[in-house]
């Protein structure tokens, strides 16, 4: 009798090797360098691509299975949330503005990350790195989709979320996250990895996701918590990949060290500037607070990041150049950013407000050295003005930093009463910066940043009006024309939270839910 022989299944390690390393090839009728032109020109030397270890050894078949299960759970929660009118369970309608910031400024970055990883995944000659990048590319695309799906429920009930893709390419403050990723995607593939996998994912992503998701949990938004968890399990894989790729680069050749150091200096600072939006969200936009930006910075950046840079010292890597200034900024940036959006809330599709007395006391407690001295007086002034019917809106366009594209709102290190101005001349033109580090980034690659699409300058160049707009007609209001080009709903998406449609609707839904039915 014949015994059936079953083929032994491959072990995890062999299967991983077969499904990643086995996917490469050597070109025959075209030179390798012509087919893969990108992985050499930055000067990074790779001697042995097989030293690249994907820490999760994830293969595509395992990936589909694992992610499919996660998606099922995620969509079950989103569905239940929608059916139970979960939007009514959040702490306060002010909280929804954190979600507006997320769908406007963070979700499109997931899409950019997807594009960036798809690009580098095509370009590396090493198969391990190529597969890892492709897998992350799919993750990022999924994040873009699940975040959009989860937040689309809120979009049915609240303003400021209906046009986020259109806004991403136009609205002034969204040029900050947009330029970050465009800068990364137009760097070489190794610079992209250092920027996104290492600096952003590994060093800074906790500062992005933890405040948003714990903020959501504290404020009763279980839908966001769920997509946060779903994304966060990928983020931990991305983080591990981030540290792996930086160690790989540093171990391959000592000549890589100074190149990588330059990128770390640049991308830590660019990422830190981008997170200004998150700092503001955390200290001002969550009606139920989780932890202050300062506390989050101390825990995730100073402790974790500090330990990391000590760890990397054995490769010859030092602390990033802007580190000390970034640490000093923990006492200031959330207040300075909120003031900016309070100033320019006519042109921003989310609401701002003056924190109430309890919230100001919380800020005083969390920022004992700075809040009462520098920031409380103007908030109290704003409140008095608003109560007198003269809510302050700044109507003149601000000066922007040529590198990070943020209005020049940051103060001098060591002196919170003085705006920090820096400038460079290049080929007969002046360029201005918010800090030594943004200036350094420009000075290193001026050819790149003289192309910055600075929203204020573009408005003055006449590029931000709808086709057919005639700026010479009598009574032309440039601000209104720009908002029309943004396709913002003026009077609904913008202006103070007090008196907004969001505020009124939410009060009606929660306070008098039966009124309509009784009638």
Taking the C-alpha atoms of residue 187 and residue 344, their distance in angstroms, rounded to an integer, is 32
* Binding of residue 276 to another protein (CB under 8 A): no
Contact between 209 and 281 under an 8 Å Cβ cutoff? The reply is: no
Piece in contact with another protein (CB under 8 A), picked from 95-103, 176-184, 361-369, 420-428: 420-428
* Cα 432 versus chain centre, distance: 23
Tokens of 158: 């609240």
Please provide residue 360's backbone torsions phi and psi, each rounded to the nearest 5 degrees. Answer: -65, -35
When binding is defined by CB under 8 A, the residue of 42, 298, 361, 436 that contacts another protein is 42
Q: What is the DSSP string of 274-311?
A: HTHHHHHIIIII-SS--S-HHHHIIIIIIIIIHHHHHH
Question: Which CB sits closer to another protein, 173 or 506?
Answer: 173
What mask of x and - would describe binding to another protein in positions 91 to 120, judged by CB under 8 A? ------------------------------
Whole-angstrom distance, CA of residue 25 vs CA of residue 14: 18
Residue 516 half-sphere exposure, CB side, CA atoms within 13 Å? Answer: 6
* Residue 328 makes contact with another protein by CB under 8 A: no
Selected from 22, 31, 37, 368, the binder of another protein by CB under 8 A is 37
Residues 177-216 that bind another protein (CB under 8 A): 188
Do 353 and 498 meet the contact criterion of CB atoms below 8 Å apart?
yes
Closest CA to 132 of 43, 243, 218, 286: 243
Q: Of the ranges 63-71, 90-98, 426-434, 491-499, which one interacts with another protein (CB under 8 A)?
A: 426-434
Q: Interface with another protein includes 340 (CB under 8 A)?
A: yes
Query: Binder to another protein among 55, 462, 491, 513 (CB under 8 A)?
Result: 462
Give which of 149, 309, 281, 122 is closest to 215, Cα–Cα.
281
Cα dihedral angle (268, 270, 274, 275), rounded to 10 degrees?
A: 20
Q: Is 249 in the site for another protein (CB under 8 A)?
A: no
Rounded Cα gap, residues 311 and 307, in angstroms? 6
Q: What's the min distance (Å) between Cβ of 49 and another protein?
A: 20
374 or 492, CB closer to another protein?
374
Q: Residues 342-371: x/- map of binding to another protein (CB under 8 A)?
A: -xx---------------------------
Residue 451, Cβ density class (10 Å: 0-12 exposed, 13-18 middle, ≥19 buried): exposed
Site string for another protein, 388-417 (x = CB under 8 A): ----x-x-xxxxx------xxx-x-----x
Asked if 430 touches another protein (CB under 8 A), the answer is yes
* Candidates 35-43, 124-132, 210-218, 504-512; binding stretch for another protein (CB under 8 A): 35-43
Q: How many residues bind another protein (CB under 8 A)?
A: 53
User: Could you tell me if 381 and 389 are in contact, meaning their C-beta atoms sit under 8 angstroms apart?
Assistant: no
Binding pattern for the stretch 432-451 against another protein, x by CB under 8 A and - elsewhere? x----------xxxxxx-xx
For residue 123, give every residue at least 6 positions away whose Cβ sits within 8 Å of its Cβ, in sequence order, or none: 36, 37, 38, 39, 189
Q: How far is the CB of 319 from another protein (least distance, A)?
A: 21
In the DSSP assignment, the letter for residue 328 is H
If the CB atoms of residues 72 and 418 are measured against another protein, the closer one turns out to be 418
Pairing of strands 411-412, 415-419: antiparallel
Q: By CB under 8 A, name the binding residues for another protein.
A: 37-38, 41-43, 188, 336, 339-340, 343-344, 373-374, 377-378, 381, 392, 394, 396-400, 407-409, 411, 417-419, 421, 423, 427, 429-432, 443-448, 450-454, 456-457, 460-462
């Amino acid at each position: 009798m014949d015994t059936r022989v079953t083929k032994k299944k491959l072990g995890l390690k062999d299967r991983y090797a077969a499904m990643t390393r086995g996917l490469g090839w050597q070109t025959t009728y075209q030179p390798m360098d012509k087919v893969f032109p990108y992985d050499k020109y930055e000067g990074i030397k790779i001697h042995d691509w097989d030293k690249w270890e994907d820490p999760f050894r994830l293969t595509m078949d395992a990936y589909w299975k694992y992610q499919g299960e996660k998606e099922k759970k995620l969509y079950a929660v989103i569905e239940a949330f929608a059916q139970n009118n979960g939007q009514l369970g959040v702490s306060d309608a002010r909280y929804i503005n954190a979600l507006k910031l997320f769908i406007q400024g963070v979700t499109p970055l997931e899409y950019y990350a997807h594009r960036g990883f798809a690009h580098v995944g095509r370009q590396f000659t090493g198969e391990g790195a190529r597969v890892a990048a492709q897998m992350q590319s799919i993750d990022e695309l999924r994040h873009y989709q699940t975040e959009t799906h989860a937040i689309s429920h809120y979009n049915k009930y609240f303003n400021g979320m209906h046009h986020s893709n259109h806004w991403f390419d136009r609205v002034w403050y969204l040029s900050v996250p947009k330029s970050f990723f465009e800068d990364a995607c137009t760097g070489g593939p190794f610079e992209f990895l250092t920027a996104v996998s290492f600096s952003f994912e590994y060093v800074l992503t906790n500062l992005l996701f933890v405040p948003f998701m714990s903020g959501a949990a504290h404020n009763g938004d279980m839908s966001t918590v769920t997509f946060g968890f779903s994304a966060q399990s990928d983020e931990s894989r991305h983080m591990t990949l981030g540290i792996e790729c930086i160690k790989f680069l540093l171990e391959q050749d000592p000549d890589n060290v100074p190149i990588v150091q330059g990128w770390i200096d640049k991308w830590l600072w660019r990422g830190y500037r981008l997170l200004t939006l998150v700092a503001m969200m955390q200290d001002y936009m969550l009606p139920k607070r989780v932890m202050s930006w300062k506390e989050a910075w101390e825990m995730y950046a100073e402790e974790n990041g500090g330990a990391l840079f000590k760890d990397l010292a054995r490769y010859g890597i030092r602390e990033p150049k802007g580190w000390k200034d970034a640490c000093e900024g923990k006492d200031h940036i959330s207040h300075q950013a909120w003031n900016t959006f309070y100033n320019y809330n006519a042109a921003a599709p989310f609401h701002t407000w003056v924190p109430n007395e309890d919230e100001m006391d919380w800020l005083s407690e969390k920022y004992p050295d700075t809040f009462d001295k520098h920031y409380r007086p103007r908030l109290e002034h704003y409140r008095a003005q608003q109560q007198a019917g003269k809510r302050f809106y700044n109507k003149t366009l601000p000066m922007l930093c040529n590198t990070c594209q943020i209005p020049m709102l940051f103060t001098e290190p060591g002196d919170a009463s003085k705006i920090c101005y820096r400038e460079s001349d290049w080929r007969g033109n002046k360029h201005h910066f918010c800090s030594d580090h943004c200036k350094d980034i420009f000075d290193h690659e001026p050819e790149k940043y003289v192309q910055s699409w600075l929203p204020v300058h573009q408005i003055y160049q006449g590029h931000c009006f709808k086709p057919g707009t005639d700026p010479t007609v009598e009574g032309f209001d440039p601000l209104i024309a720009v908002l029309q080009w943004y396709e913002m709903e003026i009077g609904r998406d913008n202006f103070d939270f007090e008196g907004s449609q969001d505020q009124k609707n939410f009060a009606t839904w929660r306070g008098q839910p039966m009124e309509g039915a009784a009638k």
